[in-house]
Every structure is written in structure tokens, then in C-alpha cells.
Amino acid sequence: MNRRKQIVASAISFALSAMLIQPVNANTATTTNAEPAPAQTQEAVIAASKNEVQDALRDVEKAASRHVAKQRRKLQSQGRSNEVFIAYGKALVSVSSTSPDWGDARVIAYQEAQNKARENFLRQLYAQVSSDIIKESFKTSALPEFTPDELQAQSSAESLLNKVAAYSHAVLDSKLEEQGIDPAEYKAAPLEKRKTMLKQAFTKGVKTRSYGDLSGAMITNTFETTDVNGKTAVAVVMKTSVKMKNILTELRSSKGVITPDENRRGVNIEDYLEANEPNLMYEYGLRLFRDEEGYPVLLSFSQAGNSCNPADYEECADNREFSYIEAYNDAMSHFAEAYNLNGFTESNTNKGKQKVTVARVNQSNETLKETVTTILRETKAMSKMQSEVKGLVGIYEAKKWSETHPVSNREINGVVLAWHPKREQALRTFKAHKTPSATKPAAATPTQKNSSGNRASSAFIMDDSDF
């Protein structure tokens, strides 16, 4: 039957082509617009190959997995393994480092890795599972038979094909021969009928659903690697605990009225960001820190790529402003997600096998049986995270930066937003038309942490005691 369908399709196609195809003007020219040359990354790829990382995705997964295992052992030794929960996620940058969209694809990879870590948390918080197992068997010894209607339909179809073939007989025969089809074989092709003689099938389907409150989950570490093939992968580690949820709830409702902890003095945030500016491209998400007076400070790190042609200064300058807007909005979303985030994830899998025997019978009573065994696989997964907060006061731009990534040589632009209790108090005082109190002088600038071009990790480490 398949052979006959092939012959019939070819016959109709070539016959109609002979009737409908019109001449083409040989003088008509076609032009295409040249695309700008991509950024050069040869030096970065060579530098990455010297570290002999063969698989970037596997490398960051190992780094994140080892870090999580180390943190869990530490929590267990402190008797806090049931208080703090850790998960990680990984993702591959979807485009080559030579692509103009590499910067944004890299940011999307961080977001995807963060989402995978959140899905991990959701599956631990609540799970609903259902499964279906189906087995089907069928066998018959009755061969297929032609009905009078089928024979009549075949006769009508042959009559139509004969008219088409007669109209362009010479063209049809030559085209059939070009396709390796014998015209005589086409004319003599008999009618076939198929029937399933045997079927054995087995499938198992599983459906899982999870949902819950993800407020308080924060990225504590990031990892990024570029391998010898120029592929970049990222991973993030997230932590959550009731203690962190309570801290964020307190900060959210405090209106800036917070007492500093003098025993947990940190560093001046603006100076620390300035000293570590080259490493800001490896930071993503919301973090909790302590300033030089012991006040809690929330820092939100975000970034966006610039897809401009590096040779076009004005295009890069224009795109940079838009990327700052993207980074700002993303950084603001980190506050909402830390304060109030609810998630849902669902997955469906089906796997099984199927064995089918089919009999083919033609008008000459020639019978051919074919048996096909197939392994069936089907997977579908989705997740959705939603957050919303209103009335945020005291969030300000602590740092705006623009750097060239050492691997792709693409421009990366970022924003660091900060919330400080004293800033919220000052703004509320300003809105009330009152005079704010004086501030104390800042502490000394901390030292910078360096990261290599092709392998990097987070420089801003949170205090474990906050979880």
C-alpha cells in the first residue's frame, strides 16, 4: 500500500506541475541584507580550554552538589538539619558565546536555574501523585477482505488517474523514471488493504503535582563555567528556613524601625560593591547582609545583556539604557519573590511498549505480514511562580555597573538595589515633611575577591546564622 501511495502521489504531483508551472524570469535578482559580524571570543575559548573543563553543565552541577553536601553536613553537625533547607538548580546558556544575544541568554539561564531550585523546594513541601497502568492485548486470524464499495472506489480513482496521465502522458512517464519509478509498475500497482492481526501494549503513566509558599527562599551561591567548546552553564544554590521567613516578615512590616546588632557589624555596603564591581556579573537574586553598624540590609542583584554591534557606539549606548531598565525591574521582582511567592509545578510521564503485527492483502490475494515493536515515551512538565507586594518604601539604587564578560566579550549591564531600614525611615520622614537625624561616618573599604574568566562563583556570601 505504501508503494502505491508513493506512486499515486508522484503521478498527481508531476501531472499537475506540467499543467500549472509558469516560466521564471531569469533576469530577476534576489538580495539579502548582510548581518553584522558577531563578537569574537577566540581568546576566551582558548583560555577556557586550558582548564580542560569538558562539560560546563556537568561541572557546575558538581560544584553546586558538593557545596550543598558540605552545607548539609555543617547543619547536621550543628543540629540544624531539620531547620534549614537547601536546593540547587542548573541551566545551560542556550546560545553560543559568539551570539549577540548571549548576555540575555545567560541571564535567562540564571533565572531558569533559580526556578529549578524552587521546583525542588515545592516537591519537598507538598506532593500529590497518581498513576495509571494499562495493558492491552489483541489477536485475530481473519485476514482483511475487500468490500464491493472499496473495489468500486478503487475503480473510480483509477479512472481519474488515467485521465490525468493521458493529459500529460509523456511528461508523467519521464518524471516517474527520474524518480526511480517504473511507469509500468505504476499502472500495474494493485489495490491493498491492511488489518491489525496482533497487538500487545503496556504503558505506565504517572502524574505529580506540588505547590506551596516559597517566601524566604534566597540564592546564597552562584556558579558559572565555560568549557573547552565555548558552552557556558550556571548553577545557583538556594536556602530557606522559618527563621529567614520571620526575618523578612519583620523587615517588611518594620517601616524601618529596626535596632542594629552591634555584635554583627559588617561593612559599608556601597564601598563593598565598589570594591567588588568586576564580580557583580556573577551575582543574582536577593541577599541579606549587615552593614558597619549592624543593621540588616537587603541587596538585590540583577543584570541584562546588550545585543548591540560593538562597533556601533550609539546603538550600544541606546541599548544600555534599556538593559538598565530590564535589570531594575528584575531586581525589584526579587524583593516581591522573597516577601511573597507561591509556586505550582506539575509533571506527566508515560512510558511503555507496543508490538503490532499488520497483514497486507492485495487483489491478487497475496499476503504480507509485518511486525513492529515500539518503545513509547512521553513527558510533559510545567511550573508557575507568582508574587506580588505593594507599598515598598526605602529601596534605592546602590550600584549601576557595566562590564565586558571575559568569555564572550559581550557587554553586561547590571543594577544593585538595596533596602536599608534607615533609608526607609528617612524617606518616611521626608514624606511627612520632617527633618531626618544625622548619620555616622562609614567604615573602611573591604578587599576585592577575584574570579577567573571561565570559572566563577559568588563573591557575596551570606551569614549562615541568618537561616
Give a yes or no: residue 119 inside a domain: yes
Same domain, 236 and 185: no
Global pTM reads 0.74
Same domain, 253 and 151: no
Strands 192-213 and 341-362 turn out to be antiparallel
Same domain, 324 and 422: yes
CB atoms within 10 A of CB 276: 20
Yes or no: say if 345 and 212 are a contact pair by the CB < 8 Å rule.
Answer: no
Tens digits of pLDDT across the chain (467 residues): 444 444 444 444 444 344 333 333 333 333 333 333 222 223 333 344 456 788 999 999 999 999 999 999 999 999 998 999 999 999 999 998 889 999 999 999 999 999 999 999 999 999 999 999 999 999 988 877 766 665 565 555 555 555 544 554 555 556 656 666 665 555 555 566 788 889 999 999 999 999 999 999 999 999 999 888 889 999 999 999 999 999 999 999 999 999 999 899 998 999 999 988 988 999 999 999 999 999 999 999 999 999 998 889 999 999 999 999 999 999 999 999 999 999 999 999 999 999 999 988 876 677 888 999 999 999 999 999 999 999 999 999 999 999 999 888 899 999 999 999 999 999 999 998 887 666 655 555 555 555 555 556 565 666 666 67
Query: Up-side HSE of residue 195: CA atoms within 13 Å toward CB?
Result: 14
Same domain, 53 and 114: yes
Same domain, 325 and 411: yes
Give a yes or no: residue 73 inside a domain: yes
Which 3 state secondary structure label does DSSP give 356?
strand
Same domain, 238 and 115: yes
Give a yes or no: residue 348 inside a domain: no
Yes or no: say if 338 and 248 are a contact pair by the CB < 8 Å rule.
Answer: yes
CA–CA separation, 21 vs 13, rounded Å?
Answer: 11
Same domain, 182 and 314: no
What b-and-e string marks burial along 255-273, b requiring 16 or more CB atoms within 10 Å of the CB?
Answer: ebebebeeeeebbbbeebb
Domain that holds residue 184: 147-190
| DSSP string computed for 363-385 | TT--EEEEEEEEEEEEEEEEEEE
